[in-house]
Chain A
Amino acid sequence: MTTATPRTRRRRVRWSTGVRFLIAAVATIGFLAPIAWMVTTAFKTTKDAFSPTPQLLFSPTMDNFAFDRRRHGDRRPIRQRSNAVAQIRRSAWVGHVEG
């Protein structure tokens, strides 16, 4: 009997920590998910990035991080370059020019 009280008390503390951990983990995932999606998009091809079904499994490409003048050239249509970073830069630029 004498040992029962501290044991239940310790359990209750652990339980509440567990709930707090769970909420914290859910919040962390919620704040992180869009960023994770953005980062994975950076490794996708245009086809995967603009696919109407979520592409969770895709073969990652590093193309978007490379600037190869011979391969991309200056004549390559802008739409064919699926590059998260360049896309962002481009949109900002287009917005800037349009505005």
Chain B
Amino acid sequence: MASSTSKKGAPAAAMSPGLAPRPRRPRQVLRYSAMFPGLLVLGAFALYPAVYSLVISLFNWNLTSPTQRFVGLRNYQDLLTDPAFWHAVAITIEFVAVSVGIQFLIAFGLGLIFFRGLPGDKVMRALILMPMLIAPVVVGLLARFSLEPTFGIVNQLLRQLGLGTQDFLGRPELALPTLIAIDVWQWTPFLFLILLAALQGIPEDVIEAAKIDGATWPHIVWHIFLPLLQYPILVGLALRVIDAFRVYDLVFMTTRGGPIDATSTMSWQIYDVGFRVFNLSYAAAFSWLLLILVMVTVSFMMRRIVANQEDQ
């Protein structure tokens, strides 16, 4: 970084030898005063809440008690020895990994089906994107309504097929897979959109050349498409992973963390601890650990892109 700026600075100075050096101050005043509104908004709405949540995570602030005192890293220590925390971590990671994995497989498969054109593909593409446009709260309500054991449409259909009634959201072993299925239904279109755009950007001659060399379609997909599309794939997956880690509205509308704690994801537990038990400090510490987990996961996924950028 340092070497590149000095390189840029040198020719600029050499090109204007006749001009007197401009006075520095007014320009810098202008620069900072132009940045000021943006910095103010950023500070007020991003920096201040973040720092504030970091600060309260170091106190024992409970809304039910009038006093609060500094406890240092106690909240973090308590969290890391709390089995409920590790349960939430496990549930969340399972939700993210399975859900995003299935979404990628379906979206990539659909992308391969769509990217070379089909009769009526524009209409079908638009229709497939519709679940993505519905608010997650509405999706949760729709799911609860249609999965309900007595009058829910899914169970009515299952009964007519002779498969019996399933309480999808009420049984501990079914609740998380059901949430994953709902998430897959809603968010596969998003990955599909990204992957389809990426697939359509592949030049036709690459495919032609591979075919002339005798490559079959599985070969082309595995050895050409996947390496060629690694960046769009990684970006799409990263966006989905970030979003899936924060899943809350869906849990809120369908299972509320239950049955027992089968679907208590980290975001749900943060809400539960913060706004139902009112232990704000514990919730703040929990949020920071979630943020760290998301950042570590995403930077692990992005290390390839970052490494390539540093080479250039």
Report A's interface with B, CB cutoff 8 A: 17, 20-21, 23-25, 27-28, 31-32, 34-35, 37-38, 41, 50-54, 87-88, 91-92, 95, 99
Contact = CB atoms under 8 A, between A and B. Distances in A.
Given A20-B118, A25-B124, A38-B142, A31 B153 contact: no
Contact of B252 (A51, A87, A95): A95
A24 B113 contact: yes
26 contacts: A21-B118, A21-B120, A24-B110, A24-B113, A24-B114, A24-B118, A27-B110, A27-B113, A27-B128, A28-B128, A31-B131, A34-B142, A37-B142, A37-B146, A37-B153, A38-B142, A51-B151, A53-B156, A54-B153, A54-B157, A54-B160, A87-B141, A92-B137, A92-B141, A99-B252, A99-B275
Given A24-B118, A27-B110, 9 more contacts: A21-B118, A21-B120, A27-B113, A31-B185, A31-B188, A34-B146, A50-B151, A91-B253, A99-B271
Given A31-B128, A31-B189, A34-B146, A17 B253 contact: no
Contact of A32 (B113, B130, B275): B130
- Tell me if B's interface is mostly helix, strand, loop or mixed: helix
Nearest to A53: B156
A54 B161 CA distance: 13
A38 B106 CA distance: 24
B127 interface: yes
Interface string B179-201: 00000010011000000000000
Contacts of B253: 91, 95
Contacts of A50: 151
